[in-house]
Amino acid sequence: MKKADLLVSFPLGSLLDRYLIAGFLKIFALSLLCLTALYLVVDFFDRIENLLKAGAPLWTSLRYFLYKLPLLISRVVGFAALFSTLFFLGTLSRNQEITAMRSSGLSLRRISLPLLLCSLFLALLVFFCNEALVPIFTRKAQDIYKTEVRKKPLRSVLGTEDFWIPGAGSFIRVDHFDTRENTLKGVSVFLLHRDFSLSGLIEAPTARWNGARWEAKEATEWTFLPNGQMRRRRLDVSVPLSETPEDLKLFIREPEEFSLFELRKQIADLRGKGIDTKEYEVDLQIKFALPLLSPLLVLLGIPFALKHGPSGGMALSFGISLLVGLGYWFLTAFSVSLGHSGAVNPWIAAWVPNLTLALIGFFFSLAED
């Protein structure tokens, strides 16, 4: 049979493609369920000490983990796709089905095409899930943890990043809280009379936690005099804020709680205030990079499965998936930390792990064919 005839016999969407996609998705569904359950158990033991110390009711704990499920699922989809690729193609290879397909004139690339297209669909699904479901559910999970478990009521009126907190005879506005340096940026303290009329204003570019209180250096104080005039003076002052850095960290929203629109708005707001946005720019790029993990891991898994299929099984598939997963998350954590610190460009920090997987996958794919 000629090559042109083969393309007609096996067009995209043929019975063979449906067979490959159905087999892949069956294993994917089971592996996704198992990996999500495993991730949930690990997260449970990571949180169990705090839950027990806080005396959280069983229903509160169950609701917290239930709302975290979309986030946990989105994080393991790529590795479920990798395991499914390794195990499914390995099974086909052991049963000599790959040999039969190749003897019919099909190349490894044509055999792998349905799995790659399926992984691209999974990437789109993860992307839209991360936009539509994950921010809402993660925000609710964090609210439960902060208010019902940690017993820290959200007294602040939160915006996308800045927040207002009532203090002793004052209201305090903070543009940004740097969690790495325990520093408040863009601090404004509105001093109030007993009737809540404004008596003065203190503005400080930064306020740093010294272990006991928030110290603002070279702050500007404006005092409103009874005759309608204002008096200005420079001074070092302690911000009348009772919350510690650990308390304020509960007010800060995690990157997973933002949609792309909210994160872009946050970056624009912070830039308008002259605040560094490197961390959020990295988080924005990560939102685009992570969904592509599924097709990249499938691309990487195909040559491994075809090479070790006859001698491999579930144990080998799980071992390779675990090794690749640990390597990927280690590289991602290292790259993101460099991006957050400003050592590398946000684009590089977010996309280097994906680019590494793509290069390795293409190398082995070309070598196999």
The answer on 334 and 185 residing in a single domain is: no
- Under the phi-then-psi rule, with left for phi > 0, alpha for psi from -120 to 50, and beta for the rest, what region is 342? left
Q: Within a domain: residue 108?
A: yes
Kindly state whether residues 181 and 284 are assigned to the same domain: no
Are 122 and 24 part of one and the same domain? yes
My answer on whether 297 and 359 are in the same domain is yes
User: Once rounded to an integer, what is the mean pLDDT over residues 232-240?
Assistant: 85
Do 134 and 213 reside in the same domain of the chain? no
Q: Which residues pair with 207 in a beta bridge?
A: 184
Confirm whether 129 is domain-assigned: yes
Q: What is the Cα Rg of the chain in Å?
A: 27
The predicted-structure confidence for 253-284, as pLDDT tens digits, reads as follows 788 888 888 889 888 888 887 778 888 999 99
How far is residue 188's CA from residue 101's CA, in Å, rounded to a whole number? 70
Contact assessment for residue 321 and residue 76, using Cβ atoms and an 8 Å cutoff: no
**How far apart, in Å, are the Cα atoms of 128 and each of 69, 122, 284?**
15, 10, 15
Collect all residues with Cβ–Cβ distance below 8 Å to 131 and sequence separation of at least 6: 259, 260
Do 129 and 34 belong to one domain? yes
pLDDT at 160: 46
Residue 264 covered by a domain: no
Q: Indicate if 17 and 81 belong to the same structural domain.
A: yes
What average pLDDT does the structure give for the chain?
A: 83
58-94 vs 108-132: helix crossing angle, rounded to 10: 170
User: What distance, in Å, lies between the first and last C-alpha atoms of the chain?
Assistant: 21
Tokens matching residue 184: 């408040």
Residue 205 lies in a domain: yes
Q: Who's near 352: CB < 8 A, 6+ residues apart?
A: 331, 335
In a domain, 265, yes or no: no
Domain boundary among 232, 250, 268: 250
* Structural domain contains residue 23: yes
Instruction: Provide the domain count of the chain.
Output: 2
Distance, CA of 316 to CA of 90 (rounded, Å): 10
141: in domain = yes
Residues 344 and 292 in one domain: yes
Reference 24, options 76, 72, 73, 92; nearest CA is 92
Please give the biggest Cα pair distance in the chain. 100
Do the Cβ atoms of 158 and 248 come closer than 8 Å? no
Residue whose tokens read 């998705």:
25
Tens digit of pLDDT for each residue in 99-151? 888 887 788 888 888 999 999 999 999 999 999 899 999 989 888 888 887 77
How is the beta sheet containing 230-239 ordered, strand by strand?
157-158, 163-167, 170-178, 183-192, 198-209, 214-224, 230-239
- The mean pLDDT value for 183-211 works out to 86
Residues 119 and 167 in one domain: no
pLDDT bucket at 225, cuts 50 / 70 / 90: confident
pTM of full prediction above 0.85: no
- Token representation of residue 122: 């999974």
Give pLDDT tens digits for 311-351.
555 666 677 777 888 889 899 999 999 998 888 999 999 99
pLDDT tens, position by position, 37-84 = 999 998 888 888 878 777 878 888 889 999 999 999 999 999 999 999
- 170 and 125 housed in the same domain: no
> Is residue 263 a part of any domain in this protein?
no
Same domain, 139 and 283: yes
Range of the domain at 87: 3-147+277-368
The values of phi and psi at residue 105, to 5°, are 100, 5
CA distance 116 to 296: 9
